[in-house]
Amino acid sequence: MRYLIVLFCFVFFPSLAQEREFERIVHYHSDIQVQKNRDVLITETIKVYAGGQEIRRGIFRELPLSYEYKGGNWKVRFELLEVLRDGKVEPYHTENMSNGIRIYAGEKETFLDNGFYTYTLKYRVHHVLGLFDDFDEIYWNINGNGWQFQIDSLSATIQWPKGASMKRFDGYTGVFGARGKDFNIDLDSTKITFEVTRVMQSGENLTVAVAWDKGHLIYPTDWDEFVYWCQTYALFITALFGLLIGFLYNYRNWYKYGRDPKQGTIIPRFYAPEGFSPAECVYLKREGRQSNQMFGAQLVSLAVKGFITIKVNEKKGVFGEESYTITKNDPSEHKDILNDTEEAFMRNLIGSLQQMVLTKKYNPRVKAAWDQLISSIEHKQEGKYIVRNGALKAKQFIIPVVFMITGFIMHGLYGGPMYIVFIGLFLHIVMNIIFFRLYEQPTAEGRRLMDEIAGFEMYMKYADKLRIKAINPPSMDFDYFEKNLAYAIALGVADEWKNQFDVKMLEEAKVTRMPYLTGISIASMSNFSKSMSSTISSASTPPSSSGSGSGGGGSSG
């Protein structure tokens, strides 16, 4: 009686019967034929029920086309041969995924009526077989793990090469990684069929492995294996070759255009190069790089020449910071003249002020004086004493750009982890930064002056030992100490310079001879230099702007 009622509903109320259906895969069968040339021809027959919910225009099938191969990554060669719906050609399009391809069967403008449809996907893949010493094998995930529908029945037929004999088989059912055995097999001399014995839920799959005896395929030649190896490690090879080419290119340019002139013999000198301020000496010694000591040494130089007075103020409280009062002196107290760099520095820092206090708080005057000092020295030394080789630096970045483009092309053709491209690009940039610095070189004249500065620094550090070997050495009196003090601070040898003299004599003479440095002892001159450099660094750094905000996100589907 129950069956008669169901039959009555199907005959007289077909729409009511359809409402009892739900979207699912009614039957999924994969026919797999292993070709002698190692290609695998696969025909998938997928019968679905479309209810206008998820299946509205058609279906899509996702196929992973990359897998680990001998420690690298292999991208499967894929050829889509045919897409049918109910035995007729069906429009389709494909989209690349991160690890494969997605095939859309159907048209955007065409909606399916509710009902049953059978789709056929036929495609060929290459280099997916396992070639072992004792057997050849196909290991294949039949339906994948991406279907969101229930699969009522699932089966697969694997046909091995003609003339071969099967050696072993196995299969697994369930979600990814599961090792269920819910299938039956039907075996004959040319093929084997796996048929799942239960309904497969969303995300479940059938994976099969079939092996046969050797000698029934056209095996890859040594050249084929080499090509496979190159394609498998395409991104690694691209990265290594890119780095090698980048290094050879940079090394060639450095060797041809960027090598420094050979250092001359360094002999002790009693004075800095004529016309060079302390800051200029440091800048040239560092081959065009600024130093925190430059500003403080330049201030001390102005004080030594009688243009300003520097007073170290006492700290207030346990955590108080040091501050410095800079006072402009009367012109009658000037002991020496300033060069262009020093005049501009004095003008930007003091200007029309009679007095200013330096603290670690940002001070636009300090910033302006610092920028001007660097700019003035650069203008004086660039090209004449130091060559930057800007054209070579610009050409450096052609190779990383070409490498990055090549990496993306190789990834598109052969797959592989994209992080290899970004690691290679990072190493390129690091290498370029190193050569960026190496490309810069002193001119012949710059090298000569650098040797003079090195000889001057040598004497300030070892005057006591070198004086007996020197011809007409200067008198190691207070005047000589004072004249070169700013240079010693700039070059970072204030303690060594001080120790070449009778410190007690220096301290006694300082009381009357150095009124322009108040609150500073000869013994603490090095600490004064470091503290002053720290203060100037903070005072010349604009405060960073900061803010806060909030945002929200959501998703739609």
Distance CA(235)–CA(410), nearest Å, equals 6
Distance CA(503)–CA(508), nearest Å, equals 9
What was the pLDDT predicted at 114?
94
Distance CA(332)–CA(370), nearest Å, equals 27
C-beta of residue 148 within 8 angstroms of C-beta of residue 201: no
For the chain, the maximum distance between any two Cα atoms, rounded to a whole number of angstroms, is 131
Name residue 6's beta-bridge partners.
none
Q: Which two tokens stand for residue 461?
A: 């550090």
Reported confidence tier of residue 550, pLDDT bands at 50, 70, 90:
very low
Of 73-77, 282-286, 457-461, the least confident: 73-77
What was the pLDDT predicted at 287?
86
HSE-up of 105 (CA within 13 Å, CB side)? 27
Q: Is the pLDDT of residue 430 over 70?
A: yes
What was the pLDDT predicted at 217?
93
For 120, the enclosing helix (H) or strand (E) is: strand 115-126
Distance CA(404)–CA(238), nearest Å, equals 9
Q: Is the pLDDT of residue 97 over 50?
A: yes
Distance CA(515)–CA(509), nearest Å, equals 10
Q: Is the pLDDT of residue 126 over 80?
A: yes
What was the pLDDT predicted at 468?
58
Neighbouring C-beta atoms of residue 493, cutoff 10 Å: 22
Q: Which two tokens stand for residue 449?
A: 């002056």
Reported confidence tier of residue 115, pLDDT bands at 50, 70, 90:
very high
pLDDT tens for each residue of 3-19: 444 444 444 544 444 44
pLDDT tens for each residue of 198-254: 999 998 999 999 999 999 999 999 998 898 888 888 888 999 999 999 999 999 988
CA geometry: angle 14, 17, 22, nearest 5 deg: 130
Q: Which two tokens stand for residue 216?
A: 């029934």
Neighbouring C-beta atoms of residue 169, cutoff 10 Å: 16
Distance CA(230)–CA(207), nearest Å, equals 29
* Cα-based distances in Å from 528 to 40, 86, 107, 364: 80, 91, 80, 23
Reported confidence tier of residue 382, pLDDT bands at 50, 70, 90:
confident
C-beta of residue 18 within 8 angstroms of C-beta of residue 115: yes
CA geometry: angle 359, 310, 518, nearest 5 deg: 115
What is the average per-residue pLDDT within 104-121?
A: 92
Of 66-75, 95-104, 115-124, the least confident: 66-75
- Residue 95's Cβ-count burial label (10 Å; 0-12, 13-18, 19+) is exposed
Distance CA(470)–CA(484), nearest Å, equals 18
What was the pLDDT predicted at 268?
86
pLDDT tens for each residue of 56-65: 999 999 888 8
* Cα-based distances in Å from 123 to 19, 44, 300, 522: 35, 9, 82, 88
pLDDT tens for each residue of 38-52: 999 999 999 999 998
Q: Is the pLDDT of residue 547 over 60?
A: no
What is the average per-residue pLDDT within 140-168?
A: 92
C-beta of residue 388 within 8 angstroms of C-beta of residue 382: yes
For 346, the enclosing helix (H) or strand (E) is: helix 340-349
* Cα-based distances in Å from 182 to 200, 209, 513: 10, 15, 101
What is the average per-residue pLDDT within 159-180?
A: 92
Reported confidence tier of residue 192, pLDDT bands at 50, 70, 90:
very high
Name residue 180's beta-bridge partners.
173
Q: Is the pLDDT of residue 292 over 50?
A: yes
What is the average per-residue pLDDT within 414-426?
A: 86
In the chain, what are the helix, strand and coil shares in percent, each to the nearest 5? 40, 25, 35
What was the pLDDT predicted at 557?
21
Q: Which of 348, 332, 350 is nearest to 340 (CA)?
A: 348
Q: Which of 165, 124, 121 is nearest to 143 (CA)?
A: 121
pLDDT tens for each residue of 457-507: 998 888 777 665 666 778 888 889 889 999 998 898 988 888 888 888 888
How many helices (H) and strands (E) would you count in the chain? Answer: 16, 23
Q: Which two tokens stand for residue 173?
A: 């059912």
Distance CA(431)–CA(396), nearest Å, equals 10
